[in-house]
Amino acid sequence: MTGTVVTFYSYKGGVGRSFTLANIAVLLARWGYRVLTVDWDLEAPGLHHYFKPVLPHEPEGGVVDLAHDFLAGAQAPRDHAVKLDVEGGELALLAAGAGHSYASRVQQIDWSDLYERGFATFLERCREEWTRDYDFVLIDSRTGISDIGGICTAQLPDRLVVVFTANEQNLGDVVDVARRADAARDRLPYDRPRHLVLPVLSRLDTRVEYERAEAWQRKCAEAVAPLFRNWLPKTVSEDLMLRHLTLPYVSYWSFGEQLPVRDERVPSADQISFALETVAR
């Protein structure tokens, strides 16, 4: 049985995408799964900050090195992942990269040229190795619409998690991104089914502005309803499902890069770890 590749995507930054991915990765590892996290937000990497408490040493390589390995003639990917110290299963981090030369090495990469040289086939080998060695591969994609975003949303994943917040900037494009990804998958020379998309409403403050939060909750459910159509049972409403996929805003966890699932081991229903466990399940 091969593992599942899940891309976490957001159209805009600041919605808690990396936070959500990192905490869910820890939960899955705690539950006994083998998990690889991949920081593909190459222009603004930061996933490693969340894992500092469980990181035995700074990463010495990462995704950018896969591109340079390919350019150097490598036929198979080298293992640049770092094993993390968590209880339960196995958790590893493939960082974006490392070292003082990281920025210049990223800027040297021409993704269109890479694909013309056959990088897509090289990525398929990466994917085959990852899904052989891990139960879940969680990819942290960069925001917006880009070549890198296409790799993360079209070629690599089996599933797509779209993290968004309750504002017009997010709602206007959250469904369109999934459509674009499916259209791009149809053009690939690889067998990829239509996406199963999990929309996650993040940072919703229901404690102070309850009435406004309720109105936006319903508005968000209506906007993302098309994302549920190919998997949600008809007996379950989109509004109810999205409530199960909503991460509350808790100011305590808004400072720095933290892993509340490590501190809230037995969370109550009003804590963010309770919601994170629901999404992870």
Whichever domain contains 171, its CATH number is 3.40.50.300
Structure tokens given for 69: 């390995």
Is 44 a member of any domain?
Answer: yes
Assigned domain for 134 exists: yes
Structure-model confidence comparison of residues 85 and 130, the more confident one: 130
Residue among 170, 166, 160, 137 at smallest CA distance from 247: 166
* Residue 245, domain member (yes or no): no
240 falls within a domain: no
pLDDT above 80 for 253: yes
Find all residues with CB under 8 Å of 173, minimum gap 6, and list them.
Answer: 11
pLDDT given at position 89 = 79
Report residue 149's pLDDT band, with 50, 70 and 90 as the boundaries.
Answer: low
Q: Is residue 224 part of a domain?
A: no
CB 50 within 8 A of CB 261: no
Mean pLDDT, rounded, of the chain? 89
**51 in Cβ contact with 19 (< 8 Å):** no
Residue 279 forms part of a structural domain: no
Burial class (CB in 10 A: 0-12, 13-18, 19+), 74: middle
Closest CA to 12 of 177, 144, 200, 203: 144
Residue 145 has pLDDT above 70, yes or no: no
What pTM was computed for the model? 0.93
Identity of the highest mean pLDDT range in 165-174, 216-225, 246-255? 216-225
The answer to whether residue 68 is domain-embedded is yes
- State pLDDT tens for residues 96-141: 998 778 888 888 888 888 888 999 899 999 999 999 999 999 999 9
pLDDT of 52 reads 92
Mean pLDDT is lowest, of 15-24, 142-151, 222-231, for 142-151
pLDDT band at 26 (very low <50, low <70, confident <90, very high): very high
pLDDT at 234: 93
What is the tally of structural domains in the chain? Answer: 1
Report yes or no on 186 lying in a domain. Answer: yes
Would you say 215 and 204 are in contact if contact means Cβ atoms under 8 Å apart?
Answer: no
Beta bridge partners of residue 196, listed in sequence order: 159
pLDDT at site 269: 84
Residue 169, pLDDT score: 81
**What pLDDT band is residue 148 in, cutting at 50, 70 and 90?**
low
Of 143-157, 216-230, 233-247, the one with minimum mean pLDDT is: 143-157
Domain range for 184: 4-200
